[in-house]
Amino acid sequence: MAAELSRLTLHEARDLVAAGEVSSEELTRACLARIEAVEPKVHAYAHVTADHALE
């Protein structure tokens, strides 16, 4: 499911969090996992602070 979460639109993600179907932490972890998977190829981020995102 993590791969699916990282591909949601912002509105879809908001609706799932609001409905209690997914937690904000699950959503954040899914997005961080996607960044980790593709960042070496795309170089879209200068710096990723996963620990701050999860606070």
The pLDDT tens digits for 4-25 are 999 999 999 999 999 999 999 9
**Spatial CB neighbours of 29, under 8 Å, sequence gap ≥ 6:** 2, 54
- At residue 2, does pLDDT exceed 90? no
CA angle 29, 32, 36 (to 5 degrees): 135
SS3 34: helix
Contact in structure between 1 and 34 (CB atoms under 8 Å): no
**Distance between CA atoms of 27 and 34, rounded to whole angstroms?**
11
Q: What is the value of pTM for the model shown?
A: 0.84
**Distance between CA atoms of 16 and 12, rounded to whole angstroms?**
6
- At residue 34, does pLDDT exceed 80? yes
